[in-house]
Amino acid sequence: MKIAVFASGRGSNFSAIARAAKKGELAGARIALLVCDNPSALVIRRAKAFKIKTLLACREDFCDRASFEQAIAQRLKEERIGLVVLAGFMRMLSAKFVKSFPSRILNIHPSLLPAFKGSTAIRDAFISGVGNTGVTVHFVDALMDHGPIILQESLKIGRRDTLPVLEKKIHAIEHKLYPEAIRLFVKGKLKVRGRKGKALNR
- Looking up residue 46, the CATH number of its domain turns out to be 3.40.50.170
Stretch (H or E) spanning 22? helix 12-22
Which residues share a beta bridge with 56?
36
What are the CA-CA distances from residue 95 to residues 34, 74, 99, 111, 197 (Å)?
A: 21, 16, 6, 23, 19
CA distance 71 to 57: 8
How many domains does the chain fold into?
1
pLDDT confidence of residue 193: 65
Question: Could you tell me if 154 and 125 are in contact, meaning their C-beta atoms sit under 8 angstroms apart?
Answer: no
CA angle at 192 for the pair 186 and 197, rounded to the nearest 5°: 140
Question: Which amino acid, residue 32?
Answer: A
pLDDT confidence of residue 199: 41
Average pLDDT, the chain: 94
Question: Could you tell me if 14 and 5 are in contact, meaning their C-beta atoms sit under 8 angstroms apart?
Answer: yes
pLDDT beneath 70: ranges in the chain: 193-202
CA distance 87 to 180: 14
pLDDT tens for residues 72-127? Answer: 999 999 999 999 999 999 999 999 999 999 999 999 999 999 999 999 999 999 99
Query: Among this protein's residues, is 109 annotated catalytic?
Result: yes
What's the pTM? 0.92
From 158, 147, 37, select the one nearest 95 (Cα to Cα).
147
pLDDT confidence of residue 190: 87
Three-class DSSP category at 52: coil
Q: Of the residues 109, 138, 171, 175, which is catalytic?
A: 109
CA distance 7 to 145: 16
pLDDT confidence of residue 202: 46
H-only helix segments in 33-157: 42-49, 65-78, 95-100, 121-128
Q: Residue 169 belongs to what domain range? A: 2-200
pLDDT confidence of residue 191: 74
